[in-house]
Structure 1
Amino acid sequence: MLSPGPGDAFVEFQLTQRHLEQALDDLADRDRHIAAALARVGYPEERRGGEPSYEHFLRIIAGQQLSVKAAATIFGRLEAALDGDFQPERLLGMSDETLRSLGLSRQKIGYARGLSQAVRDGSLVPASLAELPDDEVIEQITRLKGFGRWSAEMFLLFALGRPDVWPADDLGIQAGLHRLKNMRARPDRKKTETVARPWRPYRGAAAIFVWHYYSNAPLQD
C-alpha cells in the first residue's frame, strides 16, 4: 500500500505512473467495481503536463465546457498562432478578431487576457503554486476571473500532480462514475463526492482512472 507524502511536501509531482498503478491496485482491493474496471481497461497513462506554467492555464481556458477533442483543437490553433512561445505579452498583443478565429469565445478571450495580465504583472506566478497546499492553490486560482473550482482542480491534477483531488463537478467524472458503478442515473456533485470518499487519499488516481474507463470501456459494459 502506498503511503501519502508528508503534509508539507507539496512541490513534487506525485501522480506518476508508479503512483497511479500502486494506488489503483490498492483501490481495487477495496472496491469491486474498480477491480472489475481495471481488469477491462488496464491502467491509465501518466498525464504530467510539465512544470506548472502559464501554458497550463491557457489549456484550462480552452477546455472549459468543451469536449477533450474540441479543446485540443482550439489549444493547438492557439499554440500555432503563438509559435509555441507561451509568453503573456504575445497573447496580449493579439487582436480579439485573431483570437476569435482560433475558436475562443468572447468570454474566454476576456479570461485569457485577464490571466495574461496577472502573469505579466506578477500577481500570479504559476511555478510558485507548487509550494502551496491544495486549498491555498484553489483560493489563489479562483481569484482570477473565469477560473472556478473545476479550473483549479485541473491545475492541481495535471500541473501539480496532487494525489487526492476529486473534481466532482466534472461531467466526464460523473458520466464515468455512472458507468463504473452501474448507477441508474448520472450522479450529481453531492453523490459523486460521497461515492469517492472511501477512495481517499488516492482520489486523484481514481479521477484519472474514471476518465480512462469512460473513454475506453466497451459500451455494453
Structure 2
Amino acid sequence: MDEEIAMQYFSYGEKEIARLAAEDPVLGAAMDRLGRPDRVIFPDLFSALIRSVVGQQISTKAADTVWNRMQDALGNDITPDVIALAGADEIQQCGMSKRKAGYICGIADAVAAKKVDISTFRKKSDEEIIKELTVLPGVGVWTAEMMLLLSMERPDVLSWNDLGIRRGIMRLYDMPSLSKSEFEILRNRYSPHGSVASIYLWEIAHTDCW
C-alpha cells in the first residue's frame, strides 16, 4: 500500500475550531490564517510509545530520521518481540544514545511481560495512563502525552513539556517568555480542545513567515 494512502490524521473539524476561536480570538485569527493543518497519528500504541521515546530532546526532523532507520533495520512493524530480538546495540546504531536504546529495550520487556498493559489504555483516563507509563525508566510526562495525543487522539492534551508548543504560544501572543501559570491559564481556556490547539501551536512554531 502506498505510504501516503496509509497515513492517518488526527480527527477534528469545525466544532473544535469554532469553540477555540470563540474562547480565544487571537488563536481564532491564527487558525483562520493557517487553514486546517493535518497532523499524522500512529494508531499502534506500542510503536507510538517507542516513537515518542525516540523523539525525546531532539528535533522532529532528527526523530523522523532515527525512526526511519529503525524501520529500515527492524521492519515497519515495531513490536516488543522485534525490539527484544534486535537488542540494544542494534537499536543504538540507528542513531541514538546507548541510554535511550536501553530504555527502549526495557519498555519492550515491560510491555511484553504486561507490567504495563497497554491493551487496557483505551478504557483509562489520561491521568491514569500517564501515571502508569511514567513508572517506566525513560518515559516522562512528555512522552506519555505525545502518545495520548498522536496515537490515542485524546482531545485535551496541551503539553507544558513540549518546546514547540511553548514556542508557538510565545509567537502567537508575542510574549518574550512564558511562565507555567500563564501556560495554565491558556490550557484552561483551550479545554476541552487542547489537542487541536496543540496542532495549531506546532504549526505556528514552525511557520517561517509568521
TM-score by length of 2: 0.89
1:16 counterpart = 2:11: yes
Does the CA contact (< 8 Å) of 1:142 and 1:148 recur in 2? yes
Match status 1:212 vs 2:198: no
**Which runs of 5 or more structure 1 residues have no equivalent in the other structure?**
1-14
Structure-2 separation of matches of 1:17 and 1:27: 12
**Relative CO higher for 1 or 2, CA cutoff 8 Å, sep ≥ 6?**
1
Q: Equivalences for 1:138-177 in 2 at 5 Å?
A: 138-177=130-169
Give 1:25's aligned residue: 18
SS of 1:216's partner is coil
Corresponding residue number in structure 2 for 1:115: 107
> Which string of whole-angstrom CA distances, capped at 9 and with x for unpartnered residues, describes residues 4-33 of structure 1?
xxxxxxxxxxx5133xx4212221122121
Deviation at 1:95, TM superposition (A): 4.2
Q: In the TM superposition, what is the alpha-carbon distance from 1:195 to its structure 2 partner?
A: 2.4
Q: Report sequence identity in percent.
A: 30
- Indicate the residue corresponding to 1:10 in structure 2: none
- Equivalents in 1 of 2:74, 2:119: separation in Å? 21
The count of corresponding residues between Structure 1 and Structure 2 is 202
- Supply the RMSD in Å over aligned alpha carbons: 1.8
Distance 1:73 1:188, change over 3 A: farther
Are 1:101 and 2:96 matched, yes or no? Answer: no
| Gaps in structure 2 of 5+ consecutive residues | 1-9
User: Would the aligned equivalents of 2:16 and 2:193 in 1 still touch at CA under 8 Å?
Assistant: yes
Q: Give the 3 Å change call, closer, same or farther, for CA 95–127 of structure 1 in structure 2.
A: closer
Residue 186 in structure 1 maps to residue 181 in structure 2: no
Structure 1 stretches of 4+ with a deviation exceeding 3 A read none
Correspondences of 1:117-136 after superposition (within 5 Å): 117-136=109-128
